[in-house]
Structure 1
Amino acid sequence: MTSEAPRTDGALAGLARFCYRRRRLVLLTWIVGVIAVATVGFGYGAAPDNDFTGGDSESARAQALIEKHFPEQQGDRLTLAIKAGKGIDDPAARQKIEKVVADLDASPITGPVTSPYQGENQVTEDRRIARMTIPLSDKDVTKTEVKPLVDMVKAASDDSVTLGLGGYMAEKAETPPQGPAESVGIAAAAVILFIAFGSLVAMGLPIVTALLAIASGLALTKLVGHLVPAPDFTLAFGAMIGLGVGIDYALFIVTRYKDSLRDGDEPESATVKAVTTAGRAVLFAGTTVVIALLGLVVMGQRLMTGVAVATSVIVLVTMIAAVTLLPAFLGFTGYRINSLRLPRRAARRPQPVSTTAQARRTLAERWAGVVQRRPLTAALLAGVSLLVLAAPTLSMRLSQPDASVQPRDRSSYVSYEILSEGFGPGYGAPLIFATQVDSRGGDLRPVVEAVSEAEGIAYATPPRVSMDGRAVTFTAFPTTGFQEEATADLVHELRDDVLPAAAGGQRVYVGGPNASTIDVAEESGARLPLMIAVVIAISMVLLIALVRSVTIALQAAVMNLLSIGAAYGVIVAVVQWGWLGPALGFPTAMPVTTWVPMMMFPVLFGLSMDYQVFLTSRVREEYERTGDTRTAVAQGLARTAKVITAAAAIMIAVFTTSLLGPDIAVKQGGLGMAVAVLIDATIVRMILVPAVMELCGKANWWMPGRRTATTIPAAPATVEREARV
């Protein structure tokens, strides 16, 4: 948006006019298209891929050796953990345990099992705790097929015998669907829109537009998954992002449409103006989000690339819906956009600009005046506050959730707790060693002995040679758990010191799920600065092109970094340090999930740019009209404060409702983004932006090659256009 009158002959104006006039055709096309895409996408879309291994890390090399030379070890496994107060040999306990073992063995999805009464090393010395490994018969077994086994084991537990079924598929099977989170988010957004617009019709348009866009966007992500695989959290995360931006984008356009009607425009003209002003900003903002998301590609991780592409598709569809479907809806509503109003909100007669300005100043204008009178103090206080909130980020640790951080009523957590008590906390964090040898095999006993004697190792299994004699593997169990920092330190010590000294030049790789998680986390941490640099550089170029100011683009980049850093700090304090964690749905303190900061940065940077665009472009309009930065900032803030507040409130509501869901990682991401939007809409937009712009003065509009930053003649249309929310 600039101060120039909206073009009525451009491509965007032509699109708006076509969608308005051909609204029945546009709406029918959207409905048929959504039904068709949803049918194909949800019916024939790709299954999620949760294998984060791969690449050139040491754990990936170990996994490649095992897959090549030990095919019998492939496939998922479940683990039955048993705890009997009187011991597993008690007749009543044994009868119950053998019944569960027989039911598990009889299942069509399990392979042959070895009862703890028959196997070696499956029972503790006091015979109170036992374990049993249950191979799954097919690598394509679904969580729906595993769920009955989890339910059967939970139902068999009583006061005398406690049973828990663990393993990756058991965790997935008993994780409930997202449930009412999205519905609560939609309801919250509806309330906010109704308060902002005071009309049921105006409230409904953004929601219906966003829902249709999300339905088709999610279906498309399932289809895109055939080309670019993505993990299972992608749909929940994408729905949360799509719902937030979809409603917000439609909100901005509907707001501009209502303003134009209030200024006396006909519905068609108002639609064209809304799309060519707010719609143009929506396209820019959405493009920024998409580009920021695609910055995840530089992380070099296959599944994160899938998440980036899938989420970008959803955002792209919401952009298209905002500038095509929404104008069609506006064509149907026309002047009835304010129908079914709140009784207290009677329509106001438009007043001339000067009369309105002299009559009263809005709260936002008065607040801007307070900040502008003490800009340095305000900027310092806001900046220090953000830095204090960001400070915990320095201690951030990354990992992946395992059974130890699941809700306490889950069977997988019960299994973890029993096994930790009986076999040590490191039983759930095995380290798998693998090496390639010549055709005569290899003697790894010196290596096994060295690993067994290393500090932090509980015990190690004897080495196994592959059937072809070309590889050897063994497993060691640490004394510490999956999420503990000492376990990561142990992996580095084994790789850097123990193995090189004991292997005599032979390369022995350390792999397994724990080592793989450590490698992915460290690789992500190393590549994160590159992604941040790429996203910032591209976003600044786009913002410079829109607002024609290098200074404002730099301000936006720095402020966005501060708000995102503060959100990171809050996540560390809540999730990793445990501050208010249980109250917010996190069962215990845990490291931050590896993908959360990677996903948060591009999404939040793009969303922050959204608000920056809507605010600074309006400030730019006022500056070109008046030539005075202080007035421009105050007026720009006044004309955008309410709509940005409503948009931010919708985002916060949508993101916060993720805390109602079951997925620990998605909850972390939702909490972090809600905090970031809250900070961005309050500390940054209401304090830091007006303070810094006041301090910079005319330097705000510096652009290489521009001879002067003095007043630019106002366009007549700008003076007449006083958008009120």
Structure 2
Amino acid sequence: MLAALGRTVYLRRLAVIAVWTVVALAGAVFGGSVYDRTQSIDTLPAGAPATVAQDRLDALSPEGERLVAVISGRDVGAIALIDSVTRIAFEIRAIPGVAEVEDSYTTGTRTISRDNRSSLVTVELKPGLSDDEALRAADGVKAALLRIDAPEILVGGELLAEREFGDQAVRDAAVGESVALVCVGLLLILVLGGLVAGLLPLAAALGAVTATLLALTGLARLLPVSEYAVNVVTLLGIGLAVDYSLLMIARFKQERAADPRAPLAELLARTVATAGRAVLVSGSAVTAALVGLFAFGEPLLAAMAMGGALVVVLATATGLTLVPALIAVAHRRIPATGWRRPGRGSGRPRGPGLLARLAAFAQRRPGPVALAATAGLLVLSAPLLFVEFANSDVRALPQSSEARQTYEAVQEKFADPPKQPLTVVVEADPAQPGMKELFDTMRGLPGVSDLYVRSELPPGVSIADVVPAGAADGRQAQSLVAGLRALDAPAPVLVAGPAAELVDAKRSVAGRLPLALAIIVVATGALLFALTRSVVVPVKAIVMNLLTLLATMGVLVAVFQWGWGSGVLGFTPWGALDLTTPLLLFVFAFGLSMDYEVFLLARIKEEWDRRRATDRAANDRAVLAGITATGPVVTTAALAIGLVFGGFVLGGLVAVKEIGVGMAVAVLLDVTVVRGLLLPATMSLLGRWNWWRPGTTTSAPPRVPVG
């Protein structure tokens, strides 16, 4: 079937290129509008306890968005400052959409910094405003606050932070994609030995990405699309499309070198039948990994999975149709020689590639190499024992962000900065027997800093704001959530707030993780079995991918939680990893690792089928031959995708940097330690047992060293 596809693409090559060109142009013209349609997506499902509590709270006592301003640089008792703040405060109260203003001069709330040179102004907007109405009101409030006669004025708040997050995500995407395309283009031109050959994979990448943006623009009319998801899936699309293009080009060059007199249509048929099979299995494996995100039931992860699965399907489609069509048109401009390394002439034969040299070394000493590689990966994963997860907040914005600067100024300058409390809703009247004792018990719980009981509520309900000691979503606050929910109350207790949301998110992830793992492992295992007809090889591949992921997560803990190298990477650590990072990294790293596994195993299986009947050392020779033939493709693909995800590191959002650094580390470990050393070493140790499946008998003859 794939061979027939290759012949069809050859016959219709101009039509195929024309269709993808139209799609790319439409995506370039209309796809960019997806950024205008993106929105912030909740990280919790609708039925989570914290979500239920917040919905009930909004119905009983709705609150609007809050803006916070830090007025600094002048003594708070200066007459000119008092007059200016007073005048502006009354102006702000007259702005449409403003519900309340609190400052240190016109209201009873007096919040002064330790050095008496800063004060706070808090503005609450009316509840029920649409996003556009709230932002218009916020802009009017900010413009008024900036007219206060003070040397320094910082204005922030959750609403403005969310807008900065979206704007930063768009800027990061533009910078990251531009840098990635330029760097990858230069790499491919150098490695493939020509301008046309180097630009061919980029054409496929552009086709996949523009088609994805166009599709996301349409989906955004029906379903919520996150700006974070757009960032991630576009760069993922570039990496996958380049990977698949490299594999197709390499196989075409090998087929042409093996049979230079064969018609072009036949060469393309063979290319699509062999490399195309690997592309199809790889794309299916990555898609299966992304489908595993749906199992978590969280809106943000579902949006990621939707966008990711879409871009993988389109990248696979470009690999099977657009790339062969471009090869058919530009085959004369594709050098006949093998991969050319930078700085080497294209006419000079190249020696074994990096992976082939590593594989030969591993096959000579399989036991020690397998043990050392596994031990090294486990050592790198050790920091994972001390990991802390949290939901990203304003601290994930770059240091230049005004919203972040406002937050940090509030925390640093004021002895008792405002803190978002845990809000407890009890479906019982405050006068009901047992309620007074319940509130007294709440005050006495470990980790409670203060407690305020709200008044002016409908009959039959009580609400208390519980201020936790320490961070609003820190360990003490999380323990406090469990304590509040476990209270013996006259009626059900609902708890809302940042710590409650984090507790529920962790519980949701932990509860659904086995199902997600089962989906991913079973699906990828089945695909690898279909490719290799072996039970042992898929199990081993999954175990090695998990080792790569664990080691990568350990490195992320050291870098982003402990701050190792934060100065080089340009961020300030905030003591935790974003809760979504391990999930996204697992899917992307697992999927891309399976990419390289499929590329190598497909060729190793071909060599095994060809040699096993006549060669006692068929297994080792098949492994080395397969890695020698495909290794340069995997190495180049790893360098390319490393550059692609390096675009994430250039961004300002810490959560995005985590994904970029994580993917770069995962690819580096996977291509060198896992594919170069652990894979050939374990395959040498197992010998013919690599290819065992139920119903077969496999003898294990003595291993003959290779090299």
Contact 1:129–1:418 (CA under 8 A) maintained in structure 2: no
Residue 313 of structure 1 pairs with residue 310 of structure 2: yes
Alignment of 1:140-151 (within 5 A): 140-141=131-132
Residue 654 of structure 1 pairs with residue 628 of structure 2: no
Residue 514 of structure 1 pairs with residue 509 of structure 2: no
Residue 409 of structure 1 pairs with residue 400 of structure 2: yes
* 1-structure distance, mates of 2:566, 2:144: 29
Instruction: Write out per-residue CA displacement over residues 667-699 of structure 1, whole angstroms, 9 at most, x where no aligned residue.
Output: 111211111111000000111011100100110
Deviation at 1:456, TM superposition (A): 2.5
Q: Which of the residues 276, 280, 302 maps onto 1:279?
A: 276
- Counterpart in the other structure of 1:578: 563
* 1-structure distance, mates of 2:225, 2:416: 31
Change (3 A) 1:155 1:215: farther
Contact 2:44–2:298 (CA under 8 A) maintained in structure 1: no
Q: Which of the residues 86, 108, 128 maps onto 1:120?
A: 108
Change (3 A) 1:278 1:78: same
* 1-structure distance, mates of 2:418, 2:80: 28
Deviation at 1:149, TM superposition (A): 6.1
Q: Which of the residues 664, 676, 682 maps onto 2:672?
A: 682
- Counterpart in the other structure of 1:716: none
Letter in 2 for 1:418: A
Q: Which of the residues 248, 251, 254 maps onto 2:246?
A: 251
Residue 591 of structure 1 pairs with residue 576 of structure 2: yes
* 1-structure distance, mates of 2:401, 2:354: 50
* 1-structure distance, mates of 2:149, 2:675: 56
Alignment of 1:177-576 (within 5 A): 177-178=171-172, 179-263=174-258, 264=260, 265-338=262-335, 345-347=345-347, 364-421=355-412, 427-437=418-428, 444-466=435-457, 468-482=458-472, 484-496=474-486, 499-500=487-488, 503=489, 505-576=490-561
Q: SS where residue 418 of structure 2 aligns?
A: helix
Instruction: Write out per-residue CA displacement over residues 36-66 of structure 1, whole angstroms, 9 at most, x where no aligned residue.
Output: 4565655478532422244433312211211
Change (3 A) 1:552 1:111: same
* 2-structure distance, mates of 1:83, 1:642: 59
TM-score if structure 1 supplies the norm length? Answer: 0.86
Contact 1:433–1:509 (CA under 8 A) maintained in structure 2: yes
Q: SS where residue 286 of structure 1 aligns?
A: helix
Contact 2:103–2:109 (CA under 8 A) maintained in structure 1: no
* 1-structure distance, mates of 2:412, 2:627: 59
* 1-structure distance, mates of 2:257, 2:59: 70
Deviation at 1:339, TM superposition (A): 10
Residue 97 of structure 1 pairs with residue 85 of structure 2: yes
Deviation at 1:395, TM superposition (A): 2.1
Letter in 2 for 1:625: R
Letter in 2 for 1:682: T
Deviation at 1:96, TM superposition (A): 4.6
Change (3 A) 1:69 1:372: same
* 2-structure distance, mates of 1:150, 1:664: 28
Contact 1:547–1:617 (CA under 8 A) maintained in structure 2: yes
* 1-structure distance, mates of 2:17, 2:225: 31
- Counterpart in the other structure of 1:715: none
Residue 139 of structure 1 pairs with residue 130 of structure 2: yes
Deviation at 1:332, TM superposition (A): 2.1
Change (3 A) 1:41 1:107: farther
Deviation at 1:484, TM superposition (A): 3.0
Change (3 A) 1:371 1:447: same
Number of residue pairs aligned between Structure 1 and Structure 2: 683
Residue 80 of structure 1 pairs with residue 62 of structure 2: no
Q: SS where residue 261 of structure 1 aligns?
A: helix
* 1-structure distance, mates of 2:697, 2:237: 42
TM-score if structure 2 supplies the norm length? Answer: 0.88
Deviation at 1:180, TM superposition (A): 1.2
Deviation at 1:240, TM superposition (A): 1.8
Change (3 A) 1:300 1:518: same
* Range 36-45 or range 629-638, more displaced: 36-45
Deviation at 1:257, TM superposition (A): 1.8
Letter in 2 for 1:316: V
* 2-structure distance, mates of 1:143, 1:330: 53
* 1-structure distance, mates of 2:233, 2:147: 38
* Range 167-176 or range 278-287, more displaced: 167-176
Deviation at 1:405, TM superposition (A): 4.7
Letter in 2 for 1:647: A
* 1-structure distance, mates of 2:436, 2:100: 30
Contact 1:372–1:691 (CA under 8 A) maintained in structure 2: yes
**Structure 2, unpaired ranges of 5+:** 613-617, 702-707
Contact 1:406–1:413 (CA under 8 A) maintained in structure 2: yes
Change (3 A) 1:423 1:697: same
Letter in 1 for 2:186: V
* 2-structure distance, mates of 1:154, 1:528: 47
* Range 591-600 or range 216-225, more displaced: 216-225
Deviation at 1:93, TM superposition (A): 2.4
Alignment of 1:608-627 (within 5 A): 608-627=593-612
* 2-structure distance, mates of 1:125, 1:46: 40
Deviation at 1:197, TM superposition (A): 0.5
Letter in 1 for 2:6: A
Instruction: Write out per-residue CA displacement over residues 264-283 of structure 1, whole angstroms, 9 at most, x where no aligned residue.
Output: 14433332222221122111
* 2-structure distance, mates of 1:153, 1:642: 61
Say what the alpha-carbon RMSD is for the aligned residues: 3.2
Deviation at 1:171, TM superposition (A): 4.4
Contact 2:355–2:627 (CA under 8 A) maintained in structure 1: yes
Q: SS where residue 141 of structure 1 aligns?
A: helix
Contact 1:457–1:479 (CA under 8 A) maintained in structure 2: yes
Contact 2:86–2:106 (CA under 8 A) maintained in structure 1: no
- Counterpart in the other structure of 1:714: none
Deviation at 1:299, TM superposition (A): 1.0
* 2-structure distance, mates of 1:240, 1:153: 40
* Range 651-660 or range 260-269, more displaced: 260-269
Change (3 A) 1:41 1:189: closer
- Counterpart in the other structure of 1:63: 54
* 2-structure distance, mates of 1:116, 1:219: 51
Q: SS where residue 464 of structure 1 aligns?
A: coil
Deviation at 1:506, TM superposition (A): 2.0
* 2-structure distance, mates of 1:444, 1:132: 32
Instruction: Write out per-residue CA displacement over residues 166-211 of structure 1, whole angstroms, 9 at most, x where no aligned residue.
Output: 2243343365321411111112211221222011111101111111
* 2-structure distance, mates of 1:51, 1:366: 48
Contact 2:396–2:655 (CA under 8 A) maintained in structure 1: no
Residue 130 of structure 1 pairs with residue 120 of structure 2: yes
Letter in 2 for 1:336: R
* 1-structure distance, mates of 2:113, 2:664: 50
- Counterpart in the other structure of 2:704: none
Contact 1:190–1:204 (CA under 8 A) maintained in structure 2: yes
Q: SS where residue 462 of structure 2 aligns?
A: strand
Deviation at 1:390, TM superposition (A): 1.0
* 2-structure distance, mates of 1:369, 1:54: 50
* 2-structure distance, mates of 1:154, 1:331: 63
- Counterpart in the other structure of 2:689: 699
- Identical counterparts, % of pairs: 30
* 2-structure distance, mates of 1:153, 1:275: 64
**Structure 1, unpaired ranges of 5+:** 1-9, 350-355, 712-725
- Counterpart in the other structure of 1:19: 9
Deviation at 1:416, TM superposition (A): 1.9
* Range 223-232 or range 185-194, more displaced: 223-232
Q: SS where residue 334 of structure 2 aligns?
A: helix
Change (3 A) 1:101 1:426: closer
Change (3 A) 1:69 1:589: closer
